Each structure stands twice: as C-alpha cells, then as structure tokens.
Amino acid sequence: MFPRLVYESFRRQTRRKLLAGVAITLGVAVATAMIAVATDIGDKINHELRTYGANLVVTPQEDTLDVEIGGVNLKPPSDGAFLNEQDLPKIRGTFWHHNIVGYSPMLPVTANLGDHAADPVTVLGTYFSKPVHFGKDDVVTGVRITHPWWKVRGTWPDDDSPDVLAGEHFAAKLGLKPGSQIRLHGKPHRVVGILSTGSAEDDQIVAPLAVAQEVLGKPGAVRRVYVSALTKPQDAFAVRDPNTMNPQDRDRWYCSPYVQSIAFQIEEVIPHSHAEQIRQVAQNEGTVLSRIQGLMLLVTLAALFASALAVSAAMATAIFERRAEVGLMRALGAGSLSVAALFFAEALLLALLGGVVGFAGGSLLAHQIGRSIFNSQISIEPVLFPIILAIAVCVTFAGSAAAIRRAVRLDPVFALRGEA
C-alpha cells in the first residue's frame, strides 16, 4: 500500500512534484557548481598568477656581484661563474616537476654592432619556446611561458636560428624594423620582431641562447635561470630550515610544493647552483591567493545558504498544498507516523532525483565556468557526489519537516473542509 501511495502521489500530481523537483535540481546545481569552483579556484588563480612571471631564480653558487644599473650590466661579461645549459633539463627531474610551468635561461653578453660603431649593445640570450627532452618528458619552455607580458611585433625567432628580437627603444634608436639586418660580432643576424617588455630588455637585443653563447665564446654557458612554478602559499613551516628538521618533518617539507622546497630540490639537481625565490612575485602570490580563496569560500557559503533556502521554501509550499489529503488519510485512520513517513519518502525520492540531475547540471555549469573564464577544465571530485546528495536529502528533509509537522497536527475535520 505504501509504495502505491507514493507512486500514485507522483503520478497524479506531476505538476506539483515537478515544481518542487525543479527547485531541488536548481538548488543542487548551484551548490555543486559553486563547491566545484571554490575547491578549484586556488589552482586556477595560481596558474593565472604565473602571468607575473618567474618566482624562482637559479644562479651559480660562486657568482660575483651583479653590477647593473637600469638593466645595463657594467660587469665584464666573462666575469663570474656560469651554469651549464646541459644541466637545465634536470629541473624537470625534481620531485615537483609537474608544478614547474616553465623555465628560461638567461645569458646577457655585450656585443659590438658591426656597421653601427657606436656603443656596444647588450645581447640577452634565452629560450623563446624551446622543446626540451628529459627522461620520458617532452616539454616546451622559454620566455613565451615564463614572461607572458613580453610582446613581439613581427614574429618570435626560432630557437635554432640566428634570428633575433630588438628591444623597442633600441630598435627606435637605430630605426630597425622586422626584417632588418644587423651584424653582431661580425656575423649577420635578421631582426624578425620588435620586443616590448616595459623593462630593461627594451634597450637590448634578445637572441636565441646559442647566439649569445657564441658571442661570449662559451658554449653551454648560462648566467641565470628563471623558473616559474606553481607553489603553495608560504606558512610558518615553509620557512624552517630543512637541515634542522626531524626525518618526518623533513619529508613533509620536501613533499610540499613550497617555493622554498622547490628551490631546495632545484639546487639538488643542478650542480653548483643557488636557487632563490623572487620575493616580489613569490611573497605576494600567497596573499592574493588566500584573499581570493577566502572570497570564494564566502560566496560559496552564500550560494549554499540560498539554495538550501530555496529548496526548503519549495518543499514547504508543496506540502502545505496537500492539507486536504492529509485530513483524508487521518480520517481513514492513518497515524501521524505513517502520514509523516509518506511525506518523507516522497521528499527522499525528490531529493535523490533532483540531486542526481542537479549534480549533473552543476558539473556542466562548473565546466562551462571553467571553460569560459579560465580556458581550462574545472575538475569535479567524484567524492563530491555522495556529499552533495546527502546535503540535498538533509536540506529537503529540514525544509519539509516543519510543514509536515503542521500538516499532521491538523484536525482532519477542518482540513477536509478546507478551513485550516
């Protein structure tokens, strides 16, 4: 009899059930989408923060002081120590290699321009977008990834070609355009693009690393490497010295993607190197990230609250409409318990149905938000499904409870006469 009552209730009151069902579905969809976005926003914003550029710099351990004012290096170019270009792919061999978005080696050298006998110019050798092979990994790295604010008018040079970029101030001074020819140390080079960075590179020539190494006469030499890594905001544990930790703490520190532990791991794989965080980028990341995460948490709570309210309101309405039915059941001798059980069973069915459809809808919504705002997937944890379903059932029950209690308490006489 009980299943039949529930079945008939759904069959005969399709419209009303649909109304409550739609409310639950929408509520669950909004909640799912918001929870998915909020749990993933940290990762997404972390990726976006990489537009600020590298957060780690690797230099030779025994380097001499930089003597640099306004981007002009006054140190003799062959002075000081170098890193070996061959060691760089090992960065991809560190524990947190999946968190390393990219790296760019830099080698500033000074060169004389053949036909412009004027001042020597700084030639900055680097990777633009170079395929690098390490173990089973094939990745592309260079300034186009680590320095996304560098803009080129014309085309980017190929890393294996002798083509170069001219900084915009430098190009304006010499009247260079994409396609112009210049001579560096007696060899002709084609300027394929004009580079605008808003900093020192605007007065320099930026060339593939091999070109700068040739000018310097030191194949394989790299002055410093900028590494862009996804990191976890720094906390008190992050700044501790790993050498003073006990083995468990050290493992935990080593296996957390703090900027400090990534620097430590880079030093391990690149011989005679010193890796350090670029504080301007690394320190602020944490603050911005935690602010945005806090904000999204707040918004998610508001969304959950609003959906819970909407579901409760819809359920209360749906039950209130059926007072006459309750009166009839009571008049026929049904106890409060069986009446309440009927309503709760209906609510459970509605919540489960609405929960499943809402979860699917919410996942789609989260997916759309991820696609349109961040150009990437928002991953939805499967563990979220039972949680969302449980929340949907709880909220539906809570929303129905007050209405059911009042419906059951009604005097059947008044209820049947519609006077309640």
Partner 1 sequence: MSTSPVMQTPQQVADRRSGGPHTSMFLRMLVRAAVLRRGRAAAALFAMVVAAAVATAMMNLYVDVQAKLRTEFRNYGANVVVVAKDGQNLPADALTRIESALGPKALAVPFSYAVARTQDGKSVVVAGTDFARARQLNHWWNVSHWPNAPEDALIGMRAAAVVSPNRQPFDLTFQEHTIHLTPVGLLQTGAGEDSRIYLDQSAFQNWTGLTPSTIEIAVTGSTLEIEQGIEQLTQVLPTADVRPVRQILEGEANVLNKTRATLYAAAALIVLTAALCVLATLIGWVFDRRRDFAS
Alpha-carbon distance 376 to 389, whole Å?
Answer: 26
- Quick check: helix, strand or coil at residue 74? coil
- Taking the complex as a whole, the smallest distance from the CB of residue 351 to partner 1 amounts, in Å, to 15
Instruction: Please state the length of the chain.
Output: 420
Alpha-carbon distance 129 to 152, whole Å?
Answer: 13
- Quick check: helix, strand or coil at residue 320? helix
DSSP character for 167? E
Between 1 and 65, CB nearer to partner 1: 65
288 neighbors 49 (Cβ within 8 angstroms): yes
Between 284 and 379, CB nearer to partner 1: 284
Between 161 and 293, CB nearer to partner 1: 293
- Taking the complex as a whole, the smallest distance from the CB of residue 291 to partner 1 amounts, in Å, to 6
DSSP strand pairing (164-167 vs 187-196): parallel
- Taking the complex as a whole, the smallest distance from the CB of residue 409 to partner 1 amounts, in Å, to 12
Alpha-carbon distance 317 to 321, whole Å?
Answer: 6
What b/e string do you get for 195-231 counting C-beta neighbours within 10 Å, with b at 16 or more? bbbeebbbbbbbbbbbbbbbbbeeeebbbbbbbbbbb
Between 30 and 145, CB nearer to partner 1: 30
- Taking the complex as a whole, the smallest distance from the CB of residue 208 to partner 1 amounts, in Å, to 22
- Taking the complex as a whole, the smallest distance from the CB of residue 106 to partner 1 amounts, in Å, to 12
227 neighbors 219 (Cβ within 8 angstroms): no
Alpha-carbon distance 205 to 194, whole Å?
Answer: 9
What b/e string do you get for 365-381 counting C-beta neighbours within 10 Å, with b at 16 or more? bbbebbeeebeeebebe
Between 211 and 270, CB nearer to partner 1: 270
- Taking the complex as a whole, the smallest distance from the CB of residue 280 to partner 1 amounts, in Å, to 5
Between 163 and 168, CB nearer to partner 1: 168
- Taking the complex as a whole, the smallest distance from the CB of residue 314 to partner 1 amounts, in Å, to 4
Between 189 and 232, CB nearer to partner 1: 232
- Taking the complex as a whole, the smallest distance from the CB of residue 115 to partner 1 amounts, in Å, to 21
Between 303 and 416, CB nearer to partner 1: 303
Between 211 and 318, CB nearer to partner 1: 318
- Taking the complex as a whole, the smallest distance from the CB of residue 258 to partner 1 amounts, in Å, to 14
320 neighbors 403 (Cβ within 8 angstroms): yes
- Taking the complex as a whole, the smallest distance from the CB of residue 122 to partner 1 amounts, in Å, to 14
312 neighbors 395 (Cβ within 8 angstroms): yes
SS3 readout for 35-58:
HHHHHHHHHHHHHHHHHHCCCEEE
DSSP string spanning 168-211?
A: HHHHHHHT--TT-EEEETTEEEEEEEEEE-SSGGGGSEEEEHHH
Q: Which two tokens stand for residue 363?
A: 């996942």
Between 9 and 300, CB nearer to partner 1: 300
